[in-house]
């Protein structure tokens, strides 16, 4: 019997709706939101000023080519603005890449604990997602390469990865790229690149510049503190950028986001303050949580993946409830296949110390 209603194309109904980090606590309790890897420093004053100035021109469409922002990004990173495209968050660009290069019968690969948006983008394009197992909560190049076949068209690699905080050194990324067929697109999602200080890490700019099948995506949602404005960018080969420009919306980034981001990327003092805060509290918090007997995956992002023992009364789910009741909202990561872990964004000093204290009470209590 035929369905007399519109039916979505195959794959759409297989998508699990993305669930953002929680942001609510019991009434009367102060909220410390540590569930979405947002900046505890917030945006720079120059970005706020630029945002406010844009309010006087709400009747006008934004620059559909994001010219000023692309030029600012190009200036800061020494890139050709013609090879840069801006989007409504890097999420939009990740989806546009899938829409442009994937279709029914194609496969795309991502690692076991990769960003949930990858699977959504792949299925929405009508392609088949393929998961490569990780080793020690880190992407495994050999496992990815073992899954490459004639149907493979695209690989998503978050580096550093969310929610684990782990990364692949650039020599491993280059090894992955060097073994790929030329028609397979490698997407390097470098949303947390600004936080990284490891000598063996590169976001991917050099690899993109020397290749025809690599693209790097970045975001203003994390270190720049502009998550509310939804603004991201990508750097890629000329032909790829031309392709994505053909299918993106004509005014896909709003004027306020363009103005704020153009100022934010040039505010080096604000970026350095954000890095210094994260460097201090990432390590302090990791050591304090480990001192409580918890396993913490080493991270180079602005968050920590905290593992709880599967012991009744001390599980991640119970810890999450305990913390939420006290105003500390962390991210459950059961949707990533990590039911015994919580992801904690690095917050303000007060928030970080509060979580450490509350978890000490939770682990020491007879729940």
The verdict on domain 45-267 having CATH code 3.40.47.10 is no
Distance from C-alpha of 55 to C-alpha of 255, rounded to nearest angstrom = 9
Say whether 16 sits in a helix, a strand or coil: coil
pLDDT at 303: 98
pLDDT of 276 > 60? The answer is yes
Residue pair 142/109 in contact (Cβ under 8 Å)? The answer is no
Q: What is the percentage of the chain residues whose pLDDT exceeds 70?
A: 97
Q: How confident is the model at residue 2 (pLDDT cuts 50, 70, 90)?
A: low
pLDDT at 1: 47
The domain spans of the chain are 12-42+269-364, 45-267
pLDDT at 312: 84
Distance from C-alpha of 291 to C-alpha of 166, rounded to nearest angstrom = 21
- List CB contacts of 153: < 8 A, sequence separation 6 or more: 101, 102, 106, 107, 108, 127, 183, 184, 185
User: What tens digit of pLDDT does each residue of 202-243 get?
Assistant: 999 999 999 999 999 999 999 999 999 999 999 999 999 999
pLDDT of 112 > 60? The answer is yes
DSSP 140-179: -HHHHHHT--TTEEEEEEESS-TTT-----HHHHHHHHHT
pLDDT at 7: 79
pLDDT of 60 > 80? The answer is yes
pLDDT at 367: 53
Q: How confident is the model at residue 142 (pLDDT cuts 50, 70, 90)?
A: very high
pLDDT at 262: 98
pLDDT of 3 > 80? The answer is no
pLDDT at 19: 72
**Which of 2-16, 144-158, 311-325 bottoms out in mean pLDDT, i.e. has the lowest?**
2-16
User: What tens digit of pLDDT does each residue of 120-136 get?
Assistant: 999 999 999 999 999 99
Distance from C-alpha of 242 to C-alpha of 170, rounded to nearest angstrom = 27
pLDDT at 15: 78
The verdict on domain 12-42+269-364 having CATH code 3.90.1150.10 is yes
Average pLDDT for the chain? 95
pTM above 0.85? yes
pLDDT at 366: 59
pLDDT of 302 > 80? The answer is yes
User: What tens digit of pLDDT does each residue of 34-51 get?
Assistant: 999 999 999 999 999 999
pLDDT of 21 > 80? The answer is no
């Amino acid at each position: 019997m035929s369905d007399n209603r519109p039916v979505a194309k195959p794959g759409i109904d297989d998508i699990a709706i993305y669930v953002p980090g929680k942001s609510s606590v019991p009434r009367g309790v102060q909220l410390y939101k540590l569930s979405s890897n947002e900046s505890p420093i917030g945006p720079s004053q120059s970005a706020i000023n630029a945002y406010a100035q844009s309010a006087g021109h709400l009747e006008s469409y934004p620059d559909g080519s994001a010219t000023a922002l692309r030029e600012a990004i190009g200036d800061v990173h020494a890139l050709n603005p013609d090879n840069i495209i801006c989007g409504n968050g890097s999420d939009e660009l990740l989806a546009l890449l899938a829409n442009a290069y994937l279709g029914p019968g194609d496969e795309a690969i991502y690692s076991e604990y990769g960003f949930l948006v990858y699977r959504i983008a792949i299925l929405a394009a009508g392609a088949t997602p393929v998961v490569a197992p990780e080793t020690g909560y880190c992407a495994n190049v050999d496992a990815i390469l073992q899954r490459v076949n004639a149907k493979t068209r695209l690989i998503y690699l978050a580096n550093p990865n969310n929610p684990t905080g782990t990364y692949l050194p650039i020599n491993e990324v280059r090894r992955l790229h060097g073994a790929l067929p030329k028609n397979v697109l490698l997407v390097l999602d470098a949303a947390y690149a600004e936080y990284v200080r490891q000598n063996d890490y590169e976001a991917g700019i050099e690899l993109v510049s020397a290749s025809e099948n690599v693209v790097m995506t970045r975001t203003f949602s994390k270190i720049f503190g502009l998550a509310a404005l939804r603004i991201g960018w990508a750097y890629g080969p000329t032909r790829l950028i031309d392709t994505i420009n053909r299918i993106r919306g004509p005014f896909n980034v709003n004027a306020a986001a363009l103005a704020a981001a153009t100022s934010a990327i040039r505010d080096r003092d604000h970026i350095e303050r954000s890095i210094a805060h994260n460097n201090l509290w990432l390590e302090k918090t990791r050591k304090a949580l480990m001192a409580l007997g918890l396993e913490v995956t080493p991270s180079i992002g602005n968050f920590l993946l905290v593992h709880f023992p599967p012991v009744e009364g001390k599980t991640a789910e119970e810890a999450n409830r305990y913390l939420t009741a006290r105003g500390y909202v962390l991210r459950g990561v059961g949707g990533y296949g990590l039911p015994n872990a919580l992801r904690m964004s690095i917050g303000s000093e007060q928030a970080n110390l509060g979580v450490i204290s509350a978890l000490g009470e939770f682990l020491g209590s007879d729940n």
